[in-house]
A and B are shown apart, each in its own frame.
Chain A
């Protein structure tokens, strides 16, 4: 086996979702963001939210990059003092959703009965119906929320917005047990697990 100084075949870029468990600390978002901007990598989607554990925050970051780069980014994120753990996954490893809102003129929608059916087919529901406009909501994958834009465009789509991605790792036991390990002065193997030892698992972890 010879080493490959990362230079032979350039790996293909693909979508990765990075999940970061952190302390709830002001300034941490910036610390994490600059790890991407420093390498001139665009963050496609970023969500911060509480996790299953009070006081522990969870970031979901989506980038389009090679696995090699994502691994390096993840290690540099995990190195930050207030970061507990980083996982990175391909779309196959996760269950993910994005929510989108669409504002359309109510009169047009009311006129055309077909719209009603189109919306139903796309799993959209009305959140607000006013005389002047109606707001629909749909939740799903990027292709689904994108498809609805195209569908609503001919009916005078006034406004569109999509949320960041939220993702759950299929093959994860959550963070409760891990956190207890972190709180110990001498944490067990679990906390310092590394990908070399976890080759068999589907989750890439640091």
Chain B
């Protein structure tokens, strides 16, 4: 084995060495700089796990408790590190357990390479034990997928997989490897990374005439408005974006996946877009004269009713994915390209400006929102605890330096609205798919992606129960994640809709929970449950200062609603404060 590995790490010569498909796979992962694999073994992937036995020093494999946990961990890792998350699962049920995570990664453009074992090639199509047509099941939820039936294909296919996952608009890739290919020996001549596929254009060529048109539109705008999304972060264009915003002087608002690309406190950051976003950004969408949309896709949760969305405005859309241009909102000037390149080109052509009156409008709306909503949410004088005040105390203790991972529901919207973020890659949430159960495993991966940072997973009592088995992973692999359960004893977000739109008819949203602290204790994780205002800050401090993982449950008021809110089917300017 020693000798074999030496030869493998020197792929320059023409000499080849005989290795198994499994070894070639692991060599590919090493060559791609894989730091951690989240996986779960099984019959059809056993040869790979057997090879992994000899690679324990080189590849860190984390045994999860469920493949969905594995893939969400891969997503968390990708989101905080900017690298490709790697996930292993066996055939059949192992592979189907990945589907939710693939769909989530697909819609949120998260780079992943998932490896699934498959039955022997000669058994394909025979309903063999644990055979599932994984390629067909996962086609709609992968950027690319491929089944390997011959070991000689492994190096090239893996290099394509990584290239496709991370380039252009990133996304999940699934490689299904039949068991015979994992075992098969072949003459291996090293690993060559892929940087070109003739049928695949990750980046469109930048068209200067459109940059010029966009700049002209911006330069003559009276009330321009920037909407930014995750594209800024995926394109690693935070600095370019900041330079653009600061020179242009344009008020800028974010989608939840774009949060943190510039700090919460930045004077031109006017807040969150969308259904539970801030008051000003929603209302003023229908008052601005030019929208500059950067790396965002006009999701319906952001636009509300489309035929009443920014009808007065001209739209400049910067996106790397041509299929996003005009998909939902008709663009005036399309700027196809990588925003890392298009933004500086645009910045160079725009005038240095400020829009004091226009910006003040946002601040005036903010003041109204503070008075009508935010004060009561963040600083309630009496009554039961609110989710907002917990996040507010958390901000004071982390100073905006922590990574906030959220699950899905009211607590997610509250955390996204109020969490202070100083740095990019600090907000990990399931935006497009809204996958309950995302946060706990994603937090595990987030910690691997940014080991030096504090990771706080904000989770509802409902969502926590969807993937709480990953407490076992946290226990076994000693992962330092802070688990903050905001327990309202309801499937709160659904309850809110039932209250507002279904006349208080609470249909199956009343959810009971186990003793979460005792549950944590069973996994040897320290925990605490609080319900008093005076305990919030000290308990959060205890959680943050504790060495290792910690579960803090905060009992919050049961029937609080998240406001503002753009009710479904309404225009963004019909946003409700109560």
- Between A and B, 7 residue pairs with Cβ closer than 8 Å are A81-B199, A84-B198, A183-B198, A189-B205, A192-B201, A192-B204, A194-B204
Q: Are B307 and A7 in contact (CB under 8 A)?
A: yes
Complex partner residue of B199 from A23, A27, A185, A197, CB under 8 angstroms:
A23
Q: Are B330 and A4 in contact (CB under 8 A)?
A: yes
Q: Is B139 an interface position by the 8 A CB rule?
A: yes
Q: Is B327 an interface position by the 8 A CB rule?
A: yes
Q: How far is the CA of A23 from the CA of B197 in the complex (A)?
A: 11
Q: Are A3 and B330 in contact (CB under 8 A)?
A: yes
Complex partner residue of A76 from B145, B146, B323, CB under 8 angstroms:
B323
**Which of B199, B201, B310, B328: most chain A CB closer than 10 A?**
B199
Q: How far is the CA of A206 from the CA of B336 in the complex (A)?
A: 12
| Interface range on chain A (Cβ under 8 Å from partner) | 35 or more
Q: Is B53 an interface position by the 8 A CB rule?
A: no
Interfacial chain B residues near A34, Cβ < 8 Å: 139-140
Q: How far is the CA of A62 from the CA of B341 in the complex (A)?
A: 38
Q: Is A44 an interface position by the 8 A CB rule?
A: no
Q: Are A38 and B140 in contact (CB under 8 A)?
A: yes
Q: How far is the CA of A1 from the CA of B325 in the complex (A)?
A: 18
Complex partner residue of B164 from A81, A191, A196, CB under 8 angstroms:
A81
A192 to nearest B CB, angstroms?
Answer: 4
B305 to nearest A CB, angstroms?
Answer: 9
B175 to nearest A CB, angstroms?
Answer: 13
Q: How far is the CA of A22 from the CA of B199 in the complex (A)?
A: 7
Q: How far is the CA of A179 from the CA of B195 in the complex (A)?
A: 18
Q: How far is the CA of A23 from the CA of B199 in the complex (A)?
A: 7
Q: Is B315 an interface position by the 8 A CB rule?
A: yes
A9 to nearest B CB, angstroms?
Answer: 12
Q: How far is the CA of A82 from the CA of B173 in the complex (A)?
A: 14
Q: Name the 9 nearest CB pairs between A and B, nearest first.
A: A75-B323, A7-B307, A192-B205, A182-B198, A3-B330, A84-B199, A81-B144, A81-B200, A185-B196
B72 to nearest A CB, angstroms?
Answer: 24
Interfacial chain A residues near B207, Cβ < 8 Å: 194, 197
Q: Is A201 an interface position by the 8 A CB rule?
A: no
Interface residues of B in 177-223 (CB under 8 A from A): 195-201, 204-205, 207, 210
Complex partner residue of B139 from A23, A31, A183, CB under 8 angstroms:
A31
Q: Are B323 and A79 in contact (CB under 8 A)?
A: yes
Q: Are B329 and A3 in contact (CB under 8 A)?
A: yes
Q: Are A1 and B314 in contact (CB under 8 A)?
A: yes
B333 to nearest A CB, angstroms?
Answer: 9
Q: Is A171 an interface position by the 8 A CB rule?
A: no
Q: How far is the CA of A152 from the CA of B334 in the complex (A)?
A: 54
Q: Is A162 an interface position by the 8 A CB rule?
A: no
Q: Are B311 and A3 in contact (CB under 8 A)?
A: yes
Q: How far is the CA of A27 from the CA of B140 in the complex (A)?
A: 11
B129 to nearest A CB, angstroms?
Answer: 23
Interface residues of A in 1-19 (CB under 8 A from B): 1-7
Q: Is A78 an interface position by the 8 A CB rule?
A: yes
Q: Are B201 and A191 in contact (CB under 8 A)?
A: yes
Interface residues of B in 301-330 (CB under 8 A from A): 306-307, 309-315, 321-323, 325-330
Q: Are A72 and B323 in contact (CB under 8 A)?
A: yes
Q: How far is the CA of A185 from the CA of B202 in the complex (A)?
A: 11
Q: Are A3 and B313 in contact (CB under 8 A)?
A: yes
Interfacial chain B residues near A27, Cβ < 8 Å: 135-136, 139, 145-147
Q: Is B498 an interface position by the 8 A CB rule?
A: no
Give a binary string over A56-89; 1 marks a CB under 8 Å from any B CB, 0 the rest: 0000000000000001100110110111100000
Q: Is B143 an interface position by the 8 A CB rule?
A: yes
Q: Is B331 an interface position by the 8 A CB rule?
A: yes
Interfacial chain A residues near B392, Cβ < 8 Å: none
Q: Is A176 an interface position by the 8 A CB rule?
A: no
Interfacial chain A residues near B204, Cβ < 8 Å: 192, 194
Interfacial chain B residues near A26, Cβ < 8 Å: 147
Complex partner residue of A30 from B136, B311, B314, B325, CB under 8 angstroms:
B136
B352 to nearest A CB, angstroms?
Answer: 27
Interfacial chain A residues near B328, Cβ < 8 Å: 5
Known: A27-B147, A34-B139, A185-B195. 6 other contacts (CB 8 A): A3-B313, A5-B306, A34-B140, A81-B144, A194-B204, A194-B336
Q: How far is the CA of A144 from the CA of B143 in the complex (A)?
A: 42
